[in-house]
Chains A and B, each alone.
Chain A
């Protein structure tokens, strides 16, 4: 994106940063406006913004599927137990 209003335009690199930053903190008013302008003109970053949200959901639900209780599967390790006891 080039032109006389170039100074008002975020690069895609910067826009994608702001998209992910938005998920952890509130953007400043200026950042919000610049991002909105960029997104209205850039389909790549618009897709990125969608995907960023989808990723959050996917990973969140993926983890819940792995184990509902949030406790990792139990892995037995008898060798380790014996070694610890021997070292006590």
Chain B
């Protein structure tokens, strides 16, 4: 009888947490994964895990940060599973930019960018171009570049979070920058 009461109480509490925190957890997961489905699954999994370990949690005071720590664990697991595969060492990617000799292809050689880059972001049109170019990057590249540049994380932390090796990490960063640079040049600076 006691047990049934406990189960009732825990699911009541969790239900309340769903009302309170599910939206901000979903927003966070969506931001991190850019996939509605994945974000929903991860949030749902988080609440299931919370229900299961509710008893051991009882004495901790901040449910929101506890739920987010479970969610962040699940996000890490998601990255690990999805991106464990080694980065293709295919040279095909670089062939888009470089000749066999290693020189820039004439059409790819970086041009002088005119104008003051510090004012670019005041221009709404440029922001749209930047957004489009960021969206065109493969998901893992975008995540790496976000972690590195936007959140200022150290390389080893990013590698751990994403389950990639050190070498893969900076190669991804390099490829992302090659591609992003080219995209901005073609869609903004050249026009």
Which residues of chain A have a CB within 8 Å of any CB of chain B? 1, 11-14, 16-17, 20-21, 23-25, 44-45, 47-48, 50-52, 54-63, 65, 70-77, 80-81, 83-85, 87-88
Pair B15/A24 contact, Cβ less than 8 Å? no
Closest to B109 in A: A44
Q: Is B145 an interface residue (CB 8 A)?
A: yes
* A11 CB contact (under 8 Å) in B23, B103, B134: B103
**What are the nearest 3 A-B pairs in CB distance?**
A11-B102, A72-B31, A47-B110
Least Cβ–Cβ distance between A86 and chain B, in angstroms? 10
Pair A88/B130 contact, Cβ less than 8 Å? no
Residues of chain B within 8 A of A83, CB atoms compared: 44
Cα distance A20–B113 in the bound complex, in angstroms: 18
Q: Is B162 an interface residue (CB 8 A)?
A: no
Residues of chain B within 8 A of A23, CB atoms compared: 173
**Is chain A's binding surface mostly helix, strand, loop or mixed?**
helix
Pair B28/A80 contact, Cβ less than 8 Å? no
Chain B interface extent, by class = 35 or more
Residues of chain B within 8 A of A11, CB atoms compared: 98, 101-103
Least Cβ–Cβ distance between A19 and chain B, in angstroms? 9
**Is chain B's binding surface mostly helix, strand, loop or mixed?**
helix
Most buried by B among A25, A58, A73, A74: A58
Q: Is B157 an interface residue (CB 8 A)?
A: no
- Whether A76 touches B117, Cβ cut-off 8 Å, given contacts A13-B94, A58-B130, A88-B11, is no
Cα distance A77–B39 in the bound complex, in angstroms: 11
Pair A81/B18 contact, Cβ less than 8 Å? yes
Mark contacts of B170-191 with chain A using CB atoms, 8 A cut-off: 1 yes-contact digit, 0 otherwise.
1001100110110011000000
User: Which of B56-64, B71-79, B81-89, B148-156 is the interface stretch?
Assistant: B148-156
Least Cβ–Cβ distance between A47 and chain B, in angstroms? 4
Cα distance A51–B43 in the bound complex, in angstroms: 39
* A88 CB contact (under 8 Å) in B15, B26, B127, B151: B15
Residues of chain A within 8 A of B177, CB atoms compared: 20, 52, 55
Closest to A83 in B: B44
Pair A12/B102 contact, Cβ less than 8 Å? yes
Pair B113/A50 contact, Cβ less than 8 Å? yes
- Whether A74 touches B127, Cβ cut-off 8 Å, given contacts A11-B102, A13-B94, A80-B44, is no
